């Protein structure tokens, strides 16, 4: 197998940088130990041992994005309106150091957002960013107490969504391509040959959720007390949705930059917010935290799999690690399974 020594990772990133911006896990200064996927520039330290707080989804679904720009003008015939679409052309972006759960999240989102043209759902922005994303994934030899990717059949061995896999071995990483674009990367002259053995991969927590698809639209849905009890400590922030690699919901809004010009944009939105579903009449179909959390779990483990196929979760554990009130989605799934 191909191999790269740890101390040559910077060289690899530099070569990758020739293809486009490189994003890698880094610890920003003055951020109290947070690790984030951030643009890498020569000289920046890469943090490959600790997990990132935020997922890499902003590379395909930016936290906010311009959809259109518009401008009004006065003409002899009256008021004119000009609408220009956002430019969808872009070059490659390289994501380095994603984990298996991050990479697999892209394929989960693809099931809805990257359908071929002609299907009823279309997200051109997502599709073009996704098409131009190169994913270099670092396989996990150890998980932490929040990881539960082994709930899925392939677990830590999954290569879905990746172009190139890296496996920790010796004083560096073994590399294996899992896509034609990954093959191109292996052709770079930066790799050495090695006869090191790939490492044993981590086995993480297993949470059964297969039975939930039917229950979440049936008996569990009408059991609001169940949701009240489990979400009693939830404070309804957007932490879990925004750190989730598969939550994709968004808000659309217009911003004026002058009295005549502006942009239509979209930003991440979170189903845990009261305002998310509040109607102008004052009616809110999901008025309490229990209603909203029920929808969140329902969407992930029932509605999305029913409509699109995959479960809208990859077991990355981000929603667990930093939840301000220590709410663990696995407790909810297990309780739901037993109910």
Partner 1 sequence: MNGIVDTIKNVLKETDLVLGWTTDPVTGVATPARFHDEKEAEQAVFDSTCAHNLAVHLPRLKDSRVGIVAKGCDARSVIELIIEHEVQREQLAVIGVGCGSLLDVKKIWRRYGYGVAIKDRDDSLLIGGEQVNRDEFIQRKCHGCLEADPDIYDVIAGEVTGEIPTDTVRPHPLHDMFVSLTPAERRSFWREQFSRCIRCYACREVCPMCFCRDVCIMQTQIPRWAGGAVDAKQSEMIQLIRVNHLAGRCTGCGECERACPVGIPLMLLLDEQNHAIEEMFAYGAGASLKARPPLLVFDVNKDIWGKG
Partner 2 sequence: MSTIPRQGKKALEPLRPEKATVVDVIRETHNIKSLRVVFDDEELMTSFTFQPGQVGQLGVMGAGESTFAIASPPSQREYIQFSVMKTGVVTTAIHELAVGDRVTVRAPMGNHFPVDRWQGKNVLVIGGGIGMAPLRSLFLHMMDHREEYGHLQLIYGARTPSDICYRDDCRDWKQCGDVDFITTIDTGNQDWEGRVGLVPAVLEEEEPSPENNIAVTCGPPVMIKFVLESLGKMGFRDEQIYTTLERRMKCGIGLCGRCNVGPRYVCTDGPVFSLKELGELPDEM
Partner 3 sequence: MSGGDIKLVGFLCNWCSYAGADMAGTSRMAQPAEMRIVRLPCTGRVNPLLVLKAFQEGADGVLVSGCHPGDCHYNEGNYYAHRRLELLSRMMAVYGIEPERFRYTWISASEGARWAETVTGFTETIRPLGRLNLAGGGARDDDHHQGPAAGSASPAEKR
Binding site for partner 3 (CB under 8 A): 21, 23, 38-39, 58, 62-66, 69, 86, 93, 255, 257-258, 263, 265, 267
Residue 70 contact, options partner 2, partner 3, partner 1, none, Cβ 5-8 Å cut-off depending on partner type: partner 2
> Residue 139 CB, nearest distance to partner 2 (Å)?
32
C-beta closer to partner 2: residue 122 or 194: 122
Check binding of 249 to partner 2 (CB under 8 A): yes
Q: Is 187 left (phi over 0), alpha (psi -120 to 50) or beta?
A: alpha
C-beta closer to partner 3: residue 39 or 285: 39
Check binding of 280 to partner 2 (CB under 8 A): yes
C-beta closer to partner 2: residue 32 or 83: 83
Q: Find the part of the chain contacting partner 2 (CB under 8 A) among 9-17, 48-56, 115-123, 172-180.
A: 115-123
C-beta closer to partner 3: residue 69 or 122: 69
C-beta closer to partner 1: residue 2 or 291: 291
Backbone angles phi, psi at 296, to 5 degrees: -60, -50
State the Cα torsion 146-176-310-215 to the nearest 10°. -40
Q: Which chain residues interact with partner 1 by CB under 8 A?
A: 28, 30-36, 50-51, 53-54, 63-64, 144-146, 232-233, 235-239, 241-243, 251, 253, 255, 265, 267-268, 270, 273-275, 317, 320-322, 324-326, 328, 330
Check binding of 188 to partner 2 (CB under 8 A): no
C-beta closer to partner 1: residue 210 or 255: 255
CB 44 within 8 A of CB 62: no
The helix-helix angle for 289-298 and 329-338 (nearest 10°) equals 80
> Residue 62 CB, nearest distance to partner 3 (Å)?
7
Residue 68 contact, options partner 2, partner 1, partner 3, none, Cβ 5-8 Å cut-off depending on partner type: partner 2
> Residue 6 CB, nearest distance to partner 1 (Å)?
20
Using CB atoms within 10 Å of the CB of residue 106, give its burial: 0 to 12 exposed, 13 to 18 middle, 19+ buried. Answer: buried
C-beta closer to partner 3: residue 12 or 323: 12
> Residue 322 CB, nearest distance to partner 1 (Å)?
5
Check binding of 115 to partner 2 (CB under 8 A): no
Q: Which two tokens stand for residue 124?
A: 């051109």
Q: Which two tokens stand for residue 94?
A: 């390289």
Q: Which of residues 119-138 bind partner 2 (CB under 8 A)?
A: 119-124
Query: Whats the size of the chain, residue-wise?
Result: 339
* The only residue of 41, 72, 233, 235 in contact with partner 2, by rule CB under 8 A: 72
Binding-site ranges for partner 2 (CB under 8 A): 67-68, 70, 72, 78-81, 83, 85, 112-113, 117-124, 217-218, 221-222, 248-254, 256, 262, 264, 266, 269, 271, 276-281, 283, 285-286, 291, 295, 298-299, 302-303, 306-307
């Amino acid at each position: 197998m191909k191999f790269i020594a740890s101390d040559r990772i910077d060289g690899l990133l530099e070569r990758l940088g020739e293809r486009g911006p490189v994003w890698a896990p880094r610890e920003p200064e003055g951020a109290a130990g947070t690790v984030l996927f951030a643009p890498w520039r020569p000289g920046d330290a890469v943090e490959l041992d600790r997990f990132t707080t935020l997922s890499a989804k902003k590379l395909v679904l930016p936290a906010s994005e311009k959809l259109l720009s518009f401008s009004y003008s006065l003409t002899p015939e009256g008021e004119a309106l000009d609408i220009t679409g956002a430019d969808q052309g872009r070059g490659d972006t390289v994501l380095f150091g994603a984990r298996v759960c991050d990479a697999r999240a892209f394929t989960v989102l693809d099931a809805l957002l990257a359908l071929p043209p002609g299907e009823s759902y279309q997200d051109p922005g997502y599709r073009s960013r996704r098409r131009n994303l190169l994913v270099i994934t670092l396989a996990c030899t150890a998980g932490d107490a929040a990881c539960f990717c082994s709930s899925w059949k392939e677990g830590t061995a999954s290569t879905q969504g990746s172009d190139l896999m890296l496996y920790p071995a010796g004083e560096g990483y073994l590399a294996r391509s899992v896509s034609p674009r990954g093959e191109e990367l292996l052709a770079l002259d930066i790799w050495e040959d090695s006869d090191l053995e790939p490492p044993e991969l981590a086995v993480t927590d297993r949470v059964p959720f297969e039975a939930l698809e039917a229950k979440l639209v049936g008996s569990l849905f009408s059991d609001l007390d169940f949701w009240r009890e489990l979400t009693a400590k939830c404070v309804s922030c957007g932490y879990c949705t925004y750190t989730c690699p598969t939550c994709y919901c968004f808000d659309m809004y217009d911003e004026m930059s002058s009295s005549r010009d502006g942009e239509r944009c979209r930003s991440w939105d979170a189903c845990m917010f009261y305002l998310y579903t509040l109607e102008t009449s004052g009616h809110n179909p999901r008025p309490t935290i229990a209603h909203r959390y029920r929808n969140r779990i329902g969407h992930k483990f029932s509605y999305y799999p029913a409509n699109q196929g995959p479960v809208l979760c990859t077991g990355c554990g981000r929603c667990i690690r930093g939840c301000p009130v220590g709410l663990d989605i696995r407790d909810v799934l297990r309780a739901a399974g037993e109910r």
